[in-house]
Amino acid sequence: MSAHPPDSDEALAGRLRTELPRYAAPAHVRVALVEGTLPRARPAWLAPVLASAATVLVLGLVFLSLVPRIVPADPVERLVRSVVAEHTRALMWGARHPEVVPTALPWLTQESGIGLRRVFVGDDRLGFVGAEPVYLEGHRGIALHYRDGDGHLLTYIVLPIAGLPVPDRRRVQIEQGTNRWRPALMHDSGFSAWVWRQGDLACFLVSDMVSEVDVERFKDYFVRVRVSTDPVPAY
Amino acid sequence: MASDDFHRAALEHLDALYNFAMYLTRNPPEADDLVQETYLRAFRFSHRFQPGTHLRAWLFQILRNTFLTFYRLRERESALAEDGVPTWDVPMFHDAPEESSGAVEAHTDLERALRRLPEEFRTVLLLAEVEGMALEDVARVLACPVGTVKSRIFRAKERLRGLLRDYTKE
C-alpha cells in the first residue's frame, strides 16, 4: 500500500519518475556527436606548415601591389594604348569639352598646340561629333570625334611627336585614286588604330572596327579623314 | 576546463537530453536534430560556461532555448499569461493532435496527459520530477525565479491530475 494518497503530489511525482518511458539517444546520434565534435589530434608538423604558407601568401600579396604595371616597351604601342584609352573614355563618357569646329579652332589650337589648316567636318558617311584638346603620354594634342551611320565612334588624335617610328611590319597599303598611303594598323584592347606620320606630327584614328569587313570600311574612313585634314604644329 | 574534457563531460548527459528532446518534440528525427544542434551550440559557446556551475542545467537550458527558437516559436501565436504560461483555453502547438508523421505514440494515460500539457508545464515536470533537478537549476533552465518554478509545478500537477481524471472517466 502506497504511503501517499493516489492523487497526491508525491504519488504523481512518483508515477512520473517510474511510469514514463525514457528515450535513450540513438547510436547514430551518439556516433555523429562523438566523431563530429571531439577534436582529432593534428599532426605536429601541420601548424608550422600552415603558418608558413599563410606568411608566404601575405608577403606575395604585399609584393604584388608593389610590382609596376606592365606597360609596352615599344613607344608606338604605348602611344596606341593611350590613344585607345582616350577613345574608350570618349565612348563611355563623351567628350570633356565638345566643341564644333571651326568656331572653336582658335581655342583648340591654343589649348592643344595643334593647328588645323584644313579639317574634316564630316560627310554623308561620317558625322562630326566634337573636338577637344587632350594630354597623352606627356604630349598636348587634339582629338576629333566622328560617328558613322552604324553608330561606330571614331577618334582622330594628333600629337606633336616628330619622327614617330611607325612599325613597318604593321603597315597596310591603301590606294584611292592618285593617293597612296601606308599607315600601320595596330590593335589594343579590342580596338583598331591607324597610325601614321604627317610631317612632325603623329596621327591616330581609332575605332572598334576589327573584323575584316570592318577594316575595309575603316580604310575608307581613314582616307576621308586623311585627305581632308591638314594638322600642323601651332608653334 | 580543457576542450576535450568539456566535450566528454557534456556527452555524459546525452541520454538525458535526448529524453527531454523526445518529450518536447514527440518526434525522433526532430529530437535527433534538436540534440545535435544543442551540442553544436554548447561546443561553440563552451567558453561561456562557468566552471563550477551545473553543466547539466546549462545543457538543458541550451536545448530548451533551441527548441523554443526553432521548433515552437514559429507555431506559437497566442499570448501568454502573466507568469508566461498560456491560459487553459488557448490552443497551443503542444495541444495539437499528434498527426505529424513520425510522431511517437503515447503508450500510457500518463504519457498522453503529459504530452497535452503546455510546454512550460511539461518542462518543469520533466526537469524537476523526472530528471530530479533542483529547483534552482530548473529556474536557471527556464530563466525564471524559483517561486515561478514552484507555481508552475503546482499548476502543472493540477492540470495533469485533471487530464488523468478525464481519461479514467472515458
Which amino acid appears at position B80 of this protein? L
Average pLDDT over residues B130-157: 92
- For B157-168, give the DSSP string: HHHHHHHHHHHH
**Which CATH number does the domain housing residue A199 bear?**
3.30.200.100
pLDDT at B87: 45
Task: Kindly determine whether residue B4 and residue A39, on different chains, have CB atoms separated by under 8 Å.
Answer: yes
Question: Do A197 and A130 lie in a common domain?
Answer: yes
Domain with B111, as residue range(s), is 3-169
> Residue B11 contacts by C-beta under 8 Å, 6 or more apart in sequence?
A30, A33, A34, B39
- A20-40 in b/e burial notation, b at 16+ Cβ within 10 A? beebebeeebbeebeeebeee
**Which CATH number does the domain housing residue B40 bear?**
1.10.1740.10
pLDDT at A86: 92
pLDDT at B97: 39
Looking at A33, A48, A66, the residue that finishes a domain is A66
Q: Specify the range with the lowest mean pLDDT, choosing from A26-40, A88-102, B14-28, B149-163.
A: A88-102
Look up residue B66 and give its three cell numbers. Answer: 533551441
- Does the pLDDT of residue B88 top 90, yes or no? no
| Helix axes B28-44 and B14-25, enclosed angle (nearest 10) | 130
pLDDT digits (tens, 9 = 90+) for B99-134: 445 566 666 888 888 888 888 899 999 999 999 999
- B13: which chain A residues are within 8 Å (Cβ-Cβ)? none
Q: CB burial class (10 A; 0-12, 13-18, 19+) of residue A212? A: exposed
- A32: which chain B residues are within 8 Å (Cβ-Cβ)? 36
Q: CB burial class (10 A; 0-12, 13-18, 19+) of residue A217? A: middle
Question: Do A125 and A191 lie in a common domain?
Answer: yes
- Does the pLDDT of residue B81 top 60, yes or no? no
Interface test with A, best of B15, B45, B151 (most A CBs within 10 A): B15
pLDDT at A8: 80
| C-alpha span between A163 and B129 (Å, rounded) | 101
Task: Kindly determine whether residue A7 and residue B161, on different chains, have CB atoms separated by under 8 Å.
Answer: yes
- A28: which chain B residues are within 8 Å (Cβ-Cβ)? 32
Question: Residue A102, preceding bond cis, omega within 30 degrees?
Answer: yes
Counting the structural domains of chain A, the total is 2
- Does the pLDDT of residue B45 top 50, yes or no? yes
Question: Do A82 and A46 lie in a common domain?
Answer: no
For residue A3, is it within any domain?
no
Question: Do A56 and A83 lie in a common domain?
Answer: no
Counting the structural domains of chain B, the total is 1
Q: What is the CA radius of gyration of chain B?
A: 16
pLDDT digits (tens, 9 = 90+) for B48-78: 887 777 899 999 999 999 888 876 555 554 4
Interface test with B, best of A4, A12, A38 (most B CBs within 10 A): A12
For residue A152, is it within any domain?
yes
For residue A207, is it within any domain?
yes
Cell 597596310: give the residue.
A172
Domain with A53, as residue range(s), is 9-66
Query: Beta A139-148 vs A126-136: how paired, if at all?
Result: antiparallel
Question: Do A178 and A220 lie in a common domain?
Answer: yes
Question: Do A133 and A162 lie in a common domain?
Answer: yes
Half-sphere exposure of A187 (CA within 13 A, CB side): 7
Looking at beta carbons, which pairs linking B3-7 to residues 24 or more positions away fall under 8 Å? Answer: B3/A39, B3/B46, B4/A38, B4/A39, B6/B43, B6/B46, B6/B49, B7/A37, B7/A38, B7/A39, B7/B43
- B99-115 in b/e burial notation, b at 16+ Cβ within 10 A? eeeeebebeebbbebbb
Question: Do A176 and A216 lie in a common domain?
Answer: yes
| 8 Å CB contact between B97 and B115 | no
Question: Do A160 and A216 lie in a common domain?
Answer: yes
Task: Kindly determine whether residue B18 and residue A7, on different chains, have CB atoms separated by under 8 Å.
Answer: no
- B15: which chain A residues are within 8 Å (Cβ-Cβ)? 22, 24-25
For residue A153, is it within any domain?
yes
Backbone angles phi, psi at B155, to 5 degrees: -70, -35
| 8 Å CB contact between B38 and B62 | yes
Question: Which residues does chain A have with pLDDT short of 70?
Answer: 1-6, 37-44, 65, 67-71, 95-103
> Residue A223 contacts by C-beta under 8 Å, 6 or more apart in sequence?
A174, A176, A179, A181
| C-alpha span between A132 and B155 (Å, rounded) | 89
pTM of the complete model beyond 0.80: no
